[in-house]
Amino acid sequence: MRVTTWVRRRAGQLSRFAAVGVTGVAVNLVAFNLLRLGPLASDAEVAGDEDRVVTAKVIATLLSIAFAWWAHRGWTFRGGRRHGPSREMALFAAVNAVALVLEAGVVAISHHGLGFTSLVANNIASLIGIGIATVARYTGYALFVFHAEAEESPSDEAEPVTGADAP
């Protein structure tokens, strides 16, 4: 199957995934910045005196994961149940644990490893981590959590017969 055929067959699902993703990114970044500028700011004394940028990233990501499970289950993959709710949630959590490590890892490497400690640098690292984790999430959801079948019928995917394949 060609990539264009694959994308065309899943256009609705990919659009819903993108809409949930954009909203999830907004939840993630708003929470991250509220935490970084508030209780987990570098000069705050809540939860110790260490810089808690990775802690803020983990909390923000967990909030966006909770939103995403609700939205993907009810909208993006609404007809695609492979498992009961408990198993589905456990698999969703496992896929997102991998994604969380990817996201927080990018922020940790940027902030602590490379020394890019400004709020702008933290947000750039956060967006890069979100991008990498998004690919991992869609792949994980489609392979392990939900059915990622196309909305069109299989007959819609038939390609025109040409050349040597013609009758």
Q: Any residues with CB less than 8 A from the CB of 10 and at least 6 apart, and which?
A: 148, 150, 151
Q: Any residues with CB less than 8 A from the CB of 1 and at least 6 apart, and which?
A: 157
Q: What sign has the CA pseudo-torsion 102, 104, 105, 106? A: positive
Model confidence over 119-148: pLDDT tens digits?
Answer: 999 999 999 998 899 889 888 988 888 865
Q: Which residue has the tokens 């993006």?
A: 76
**Band of pLDDT at residue 22, cut at 50, 70 and 90:** very high
Model confidence over 28-73: pLDDT tens digits?
Answer: 999 999 998 888 887 777 655 566 888 898 899 889 988 988 898 8
Extents of the domains making up the chain: 3-151
11-37 helix and 119-140 helix, angle to the nearest 10 degrees: 150
Angstrom distance (rounded) from CA 30 to CA 126: 12
Q: What is the pTM assigned to this prediction? A: 0.67
